[in-house]
Amino acid sequence: MGKPITPMKPRVSQYGVAPEFVTKRMAEYPEMTSVMLKDLFADTPEVIYPSEKGLDAVREAAEKALANVDMSMIKPGDSVNVCASHHGFTLLGGEPYALLLKTVRDIIAERTGTDNIRLRAGVGLRFRETEEYIKAFGLDKHYKGRAKGVAPVDEGIPIETEIGTLYGIKAIYDADWIVHVHNSDVREVHFHRQVDRAVKPFGMSYARIETRSTYHQNLGPRAANFTARAIFGSEFVQNKFAFAAFLDMSPAGVVGVDADNDLLALNDRLTVNGCKYYGKIITLFGEIDECIAGLDFPCPVPYVFAAGVIYCNFAGANVDLFDLDNPLPPYTWYTEAFYGKNGRPLVGDVPVVNPAIKMVVHNYAWGGYPSAFFSSHVPTIVVGREQADLINRDPQNIEYVKHSVIADDLDSAMEFAYKTAKTDKVIIFDGAVGGLNVSESLAQLLIEKAPQVNKRVDVELMPKWLKQRGIDPATVK
């Protein structure tokens, strides 16, 4: 255990309160400490970022990976859409992903002779979010004014697939070629279940609302993966697809950059890495018996980070999210809509929300994503009237604060949480890099449980997860 790791800084955004209202961070409390991932799991991969070389290491890794990619199909004068997704900008402050997008543009221009290269940055339900990122990271200037955010309500384009007509966003495909630039963090593993993770944006960030909603309202977890694979495999998309470049992520940071003309081959590599890198920390989170969860990161409620894991995965960590024998994870929009109508939020005998979460302290998290489900199922304290008012003005969260109590400041929120939850174990979702910020009592539990989790994942779970995804464990180093 050591001093708390510096949390991610508040970010100026229309979706969250202004940074000046975030006057105290949860990691500042004297009972808080940090645990590094390397100390929990010795085989945590080495990262290139953060590192002493800084962002230069990301650029070097990108240049090396892209050197092995064929770009000969792109001719001088051809138009190229570099397609991005908003989630990449929430990783490690966003700088590594922004730099990858810049490097991809530079190398395409250098190797192909075309200068008609555009950025198309997709987003979910916060329709203006990628516009904020484009300006904040200077991507509008780097792409010479040809950068814009696209939203699922923008003009669509029909795409004929083997399962029927699906709909993409027209601006994604209005070029001769598309280049898919993404990241490999497992993110919504409760949705995609680490199946076709690399292909998912074709059914999400690059798709019209009618098609992307298959994940949320129509087919639900796993089954919705077919829509992304069907769109990517369509003749229309295949005739435009040039290559893909990914930030290879682990809970500790950027492991490297992977690029390939064959997205499905890249997908297989990322499938292994996702299970390997994230399986242990998510399984360890499932060993937490009770805690107060702190939300303290510039993202909507479900997407705040601790050790590379988002809060809504912690909300389902009471079951094995990687095990495909579990037909439904404890929480997704699909289960949210389907279960709990009788006041008993159960999936079989499993509570929808991880019962270890006794209380949530919402110190700093954005709106822009429907989150009232969380506050209605877990006692929640919202810190500050300004933050409560902002959430109340969010049409997707008009009931979030109704299910919460409001504290004047973080000190009173924490005092109330300790008394009411009757536990001193605290986990903070604040984006701490390389480890996680927790209370000393929870740190001791994690350190105690880590060796048995390490062995269980290596011996029992990893082979099972890989076999379920058609990968022979014997072929994995």
**Rounded Cα gap, residues 460 and 443, in angstroms:** 25
pLDDT of 105 > 80? The answer is yes
Q: Which residues contact 262 (CB under 8 A, 6 or more apart)?
A: none
**Rounded Cα gap, residues 308 and 252, in angstroms:** 7
pLDDT of 260 > 60? The answer is yes
pLDDT score, position 218: 74
Higher pLDDT: 122 or 2? It is 122
Pairing of strands 164-169, 156-161: antiparallel
pLDDT score, position 125: 85
Q: pTM of the predicted model, to two decimals?
A: 0.93
Confidence bin at 222 (pLDDT 50/70/90): confident
Cα angle 86, 369, 266 (rounded to 5 degrees) comes to: 35
pLDDT score, position 326: 81
Per-residue pLDDT of 319-337, as tens digits, reads: 899 999 887 777 777 666 6
Could you state, in order of their start, the residue ranges of all structural domains in the chain? Answer: 19-43+280-451, 55-250
**Rounded Cα gap, residues 25 and 22, in angstroms:** 7
* CATH number attached to the domain at 55-250: 3.40.50.11440
**Rounded Cα gap, residues 154 and 210, in angstroms:** 11
Confidence bin at 401 (pLDDT 50/70/90): very high
**Rounded Cα gap, residues 30 and 13, in angstroms:** 30
